[in-house]
Each structure stands twice: as structure tokens, then as C-alpha cells.
């Protein structure tokens, strides 16, 4: 099966990409992948409603939106599919990540990305919105404002990065991985996931 066609909506500023996507979800094409991005988020949020610091033009703020059959098993495994896709992209740039259960990516114990998956039942489908925030060119003084150890792609590589280039790489890998998941479930991803998950979280039921 071919990957779903992608439609991209970009904004200079949003409250959060997930919030905008959830409001518009009912009108998104059900047979396509919709990507929502913003140069900044004024009230970005992570797991449990925690604030996600989102300075303008420094990082990647994106939400992937699509529909799955309401009988599709374990839609929240899609959080881990996107985490694996993102880890593959960063590893291609010599930045090795680990997944901290359930939805953070760490480099050397510091957070570089977070993922937030939300669903809405729209029979006969579930609408899925998966938000991802990746620290790309975030400076040390901005990283210090985050309430936990954090890093960015530029801090790890000591160079500036083109955010649209990284987005395109993530989009390409995730489209392929999403198609794989929709056809075969999470089982094919388990070996990679076991390698990436932090040791203290390997007793989770998914493993």
C-alpha cells in the first residue's frame, strides 16, 4: 500500500499545533495525512498538560493528523511509532536517543523531544493527533528555562540546523512507518523499541 498523501498547514504562531488540529479534525480528509506546523506556540503543552516552552523559530512544533478504523488495536502505540521514526532521523545525524516511557526522547539523559498523542472517536474512525516538539536550535539559556535537563540538536552537534529539512526527514520516515503500523500493527516495531527504551521502563506491558 502506498503512503497516504500529505497536506501541510503552516502558521507563524499558534496556541499549540495539537489544539488547532483537534478543533479542525472533523474537516480533515479521512484518507490523507494532515501535517500542522507552527514557527512558535504561545501555550504549547506536553503530557498531563505541562507547559512546552516554544520560542519562535528555534524548534520544530508539529502535529500529524489522520484517521484509523475504530477497531484498530492499540492506537496509542502510535506514540512509540513516531518516537522510533524520530530516533532514526536523529541517529542519521549521529545523535543517539533513548525513549523514556511513555513519550520523551533523551540524549545523554537530557530531553530533546516530546510526543503527545490524542484521539477523538469519530465513527467509524478514531481521529488521531500526534504532536511532536523537537529542540532544534534552542540555545543554552533557553534550555535552562525548562524544568528538567534538556538539550537540542544544535547543542549536541555544535551547529545550526535547517528546521524544514529536519521536518521533511521526519515526515518521510514517519509516513513509511505509519503505513507499516496500519498494515501490520506494532509487532514489527518491538525489536527496535526494546533497544531504544530506557532500561528502567522495560517492564511495561507493551514489551
Specify if 149 maps to a domain.
yes
Q: Indicate the number of domains in the chain.
A: 1
Residue 1 has pLDDT above 80, yes or no: no
pTM over 0.95: no
Specify if 206 maps to a domain.
no
Alpha carbons 203 and 14: distance in angstroms, whole number: 37
Specify if 10 maps to a domain.
yes
Specify if 79 maps to a domain.
yes
**pLDDT for 30-75, tens place per residue?**
999 999 999 999 876 655 556 656 678 899 999 999 999 988 767 6
CATH classification at residue 18:
3.30.930.10
Residues in the chain: 207
Specify if 1 maps to a domain.
no
Specify if 133 maps to a domain.
yes
Domain range for residue 190? Answer: 6-201
Alpha carbons 43 and 46: distance in angstroms, whole number: 10
Q: What is the residue-averaged pLDDT of the chain?
A: 90
Specify if 28 maps to a domain.
yes
Amino acid at each position: 500500500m502506498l503512503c497516504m498523501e500529505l497536506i501541510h498547514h503552516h502558521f507563524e504562531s499558534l496556541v499549540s499545533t495539537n489544539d488547532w488540529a483537534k478543533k479542525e479534525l472533523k474537516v480533515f480528509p479521512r484518507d490523507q495525512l494532515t501535517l500542522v506546523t507552527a514557527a512558535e506556540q504561545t501555550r504549547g503543552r506536553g503530557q498531563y498538560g505541562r507547559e512546552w516552552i516554544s520560542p519562535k523559530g528555534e524548534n520544530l512544533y508539529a502535529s500529524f493528523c489522520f484517521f484509523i478504523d475504530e477497531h484498530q488495536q492499540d492506537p496509542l502505540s502510535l506514540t512509540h511509532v513516531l518516537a522510533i521514526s524520530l530516533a532514526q532521523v536523529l541517529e542519521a545525524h549521529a545523535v543517539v536517543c533513548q525513549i523514556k516511557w511513555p513519550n520523551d526522547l533523551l540524549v545523554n539523559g537530557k530531553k530533546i523531544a516530546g510526543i503527545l498523542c490524542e484521539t477523538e472517536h469519530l465513527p467509524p474512525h478514531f481521529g488521531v493527533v500526534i504532536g511532536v516538539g523537537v529542540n532544534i536550535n534552542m540555545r543554552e539559556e533557553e534550555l535552562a528555562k525548562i524544568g528538567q535537563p534538556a538539550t537540542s540538536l544544535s547543542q549536541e552537534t555544535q551547529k545550526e540546523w535547517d528546521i524544514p529539512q529536519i521536518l521533511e526527514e521526519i515526515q518521510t520516515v514517519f509516513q513509511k512507518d505509519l503505513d507499516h503500523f496500519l498494515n501490520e500493527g506494532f509487532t514489527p516495531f518491538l525489536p527496535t523499541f526494546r533497544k531504544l527504551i530506557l532500561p528502567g521502563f522495560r517492564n511495561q506491558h507493551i514489551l
